Amino acid sequence: MYCNLKVCVIGNGTHSKRIQDILNKKNIDFLIFKPKSKKNYKKENIEFLKKFDAIFIVSPDKTHFHYVNKLYRFCYIFCEKPPCNNSADLNQLMRIKSKKIYYNFNHRFSKIAEILKNKNKFNLGKLLYGNIISCHGLGLKKEYENSWRSNKKLSLNGIFEVVSIHWIDLINYIFTVQKIENKRLFNVSKYGSSFDNSNVKLLINKNSFVDIYNSWTTALVEKKIFIFANGIIEEDFGFITIKGPSKNLDKNNFFLPPKIIKKIKVDKDNDELISLRKSIEHFIEIVLKKGSFDIKNNQTSLRSNRLLFDNNLR
């Protein structure tokens, strides 16, 4: 069914190889395009790229806008996050109303996203507070020094635009972020010039906040908690637990921990691959049908992107 689909993948790094593996398993043939010159990539082979049906942009962040802007009139575009890394480019993307562009914030397809979207099913009530911690030691490895992620010229905001943006988008997609109340980016690793630690507080409304901490210089940590008016959702290494109601009293009228409503086993690495696969499947399905991507979802993606540069969205 894919034999007549002409697909090109721009970029050949670690994440690109994940996407390539999924395409291979779907029996989708593709060409890998990598510019000969990192400095002069804007001058290379745009006419050649226009001939493809679908383009996967999985190159360094600073190149995304160039390819989207040059190719969206000719091809379906799967653009990795963030769509761009400066406000001038973002303003131009906001003016593009193409229905052939898809921005890949694949956490929207994750298990935690599925549960948060269906929170009303568990009668949890309004979100009051959330905390997301996602860390590992990439910045402690010597090879990190030569990664584009550690280079401030290639990744201005470092871990904030590579990792934190995914979690910011997840919260914005489900709850709608009003602004970043606090943002702190800093370096701990002795390798590289860009930021390897990020801590932000998102304002959902006047009584709801979500804290996000990401690091490339700590032990492996994956913890999430979302506290609602009538219950809790927790994720901690391998399990998502839904608890409620908030009012759970013993015979002496003292509070007990909320009861477990549901406990779900989740393999983090597998969940990330599954969410990426679902995102790619969604993209390919639209391309095959010659259909349209939801402009509203694209605007939400760009709104998430704006939080890289502008703390206030109100």
| CA angle, 186 then 127 then 160, to 5° | 20
Q: Is the pLDDT of residue 2 over 80?
A: no
What is the reported pLDDT for 35?
78
Sign of CA dihedral 32, 35, 38, 42: negative
pLDDT digit string, tens, across residues 149-187: 999 988 888 999 899 999 999 999 999 999 999 999 999
Sign of CA dihedral 303, 88, 60, 35: positive
Please spell the DSSP secondary structure of the chain, one letter per residue.
Answer: --TT--EEEE--SHHHHHHHHHHHHTT--EEEE--S-SSSGGGS-HHHHTT-SEEEE-S-GGGHHHHHHHHTTTSEEEEESPS-SSHHHHHHHHH---SSEEEE-GGGGSHHHHHHHTGGGGT--SEEEEEEEEE--GGGSGGGGGSGGG-TTT-TTTHIIIIIHHHHHHHHHHH---EEEEEEEE---SS-SS--EEEEEEEEETTEEEEEEEESSSS-EEEEEEEETTEEEEEETTEEEEE--S--B-TTS-B-PPPEEEEEE--HHHHHHHHHHHHHHHHHHHHHHT----HHHHHHHHHHHHTTT-SB--
What is the reported pLDDT for 40?
63
What angle in degrees, to the nearest 10, is found between the helix axes of 295-306 and 87-95? 170
What is the reported pLDDT for 7?
97
**84 within 8 A of 305, measured Cβ to Cβ:** yes
Most confident of 21-25, 95-99, 150-154: 21-25
What is the reported pLDDT for 277?
95
What is the reported pLDDT for 83?
94
Residue 185 amino acid letter: L
What is the reported pLDDT for 311?
67
Q: Is the pLDDT of residue 36 over 80?
A: no
Confidence of residue 264 (pLDDT cuts 50, 70, 90): very high
Confidence of residue 225 (pLDDT cuts 50, 70, 90): very high
Mean pLDDT of 212-216: 98
Share of the chain above pLDDT 70, in %: 96
What is the reported pLDDT for 37?
64
Mean pLDDT of 23-39: 86
What is the reported pLDDT for 60?
86
What is the reported pLDDT for 1?
47
What is the reported pLDDT for 3?
57
Could you report how far apart the first and last alpha carbons of the chain are, in Å? 45
Radius of gyration of the chain (CA): 21
What is the reported pLDDT for 57?
96
Residues linked to residue 84 through DSSP beta bridges, in sequence order: none
Mean pLDDT of 251-257: 95
Q: Is the pLDDT of residue 252 over 90?
A: yes
Q: Is the pLDDT of residue 41 over 90?
A: no
pLDDT digit string, tens, across residues 65-81: 999 999 999 999 999 99
Query: Pick from 255, 254, 238: which is nearest to 246 by CA?
Result: 255
Q: Is the pLDDT of residue 43 over 80?
A: no
Work out the mean pLDDT of the chain and round it to a whole number: 92
Q: Is the pLDDT of residue 34 over 50?
A: yes
